[in-house]
Homo-oligomer: A and B are copies of this chain.
Amino acid sequence: MELLKQRILADANIYEGNVLKVDSFLNHQLDVFLLDEMGKEFKKRFSDSDVTKILTVEASGISLACMAAVYFKVPVIFAKKTEALNMDEDTYNTKAYSYTRSEEYIMKVSKRYINKEDSLLIIDDFLANGEAALGLIEIARQAGAKIAGIGAAIEKGFQKGGKLLREKGYKVESLVIVKSMENGNIIFD
């Protein structure tokens, strides 16, 4: 997606440990017009997929999932990472590891919101090692739901997630794939 590539080249920063910082438009400050275009692009790429719900995980995936959901005309469900009084006790849940937070966490989805009739589009801001996507796939498995596909804003092509998920047979659509970011130069695939 050319618009996103240009924005990354203009505004992203690279930090130690392969961190691609896009918090000026994607996951801290949010450019809702860019996100809207990205939502539209997901709809184009999954136009022949049957999608009943979009599944993401808090917090960075929520904005993009919502913008896409408007085009798919379906609800969003975001998996929760933390305990809260207002969370159902009856949940699908699984462990996942966050590299940006250097910690394992449990993601949970209330059993009331996904079931075996569902065909889920998984959406997230980044696809790197695939931890979050694999966690959401596990939640879908527990629910007996189908995976319509996996959409990421930015895939780090030099990490294993995209390859792993495609090898498992999932339709993975990343709006941009970063092939390398050595020496501060971002090269797209």
- Please list the residues of chain A having a beta carbon within 8 angstroms of any beta carbon in chain B: 15, 17, 19, 21, 23-25, 27-33, 35-36, 53, 58-59, 62-63, 65-67, 69-70, 73, 75-78, 80, 82-88, 98-102, 109-110, 112-113
Contact = CB atoms under 8 A, between A and B. Distances in A.
Contacts of A62: 30, 59, 62-63, 66
Contacts of A113: 24, 28-29
A33 B74 CA distance: 9
A85 B100 contact: yes
Given A84-B101, A85-B17, A66 B67 contact: yes
A69 B32 contact: yes
- State the oligomeric state as a number of copies: 2
The listed residue with most B CB atoms (<10 A of its CB), out of A23, A25, A99, A110, is A23
A102 B69 CA distance: 32
A76 B28 CA distance: 8
Contacts of A23: 86-88, 110
Given A76-B30, A78-B30, A84 B100 contact: yes
A85 to B, nearest CB: 5
22 contacts: A15-B86, A19-B85, A23-B86, A23-B87, A25-B75, A28-B78, A28-B87, A30-B75, A30-B78, A32-B66, A32-B70, A32-B75, A33-B73, A36-B70, A58-B59, A59-B62, A62-B63, A63-B63, A82-B101, A83-B101, A85-B99, A85-B101
A76 B24 CA distance: 10
Contacts of A110: 23, 28-29
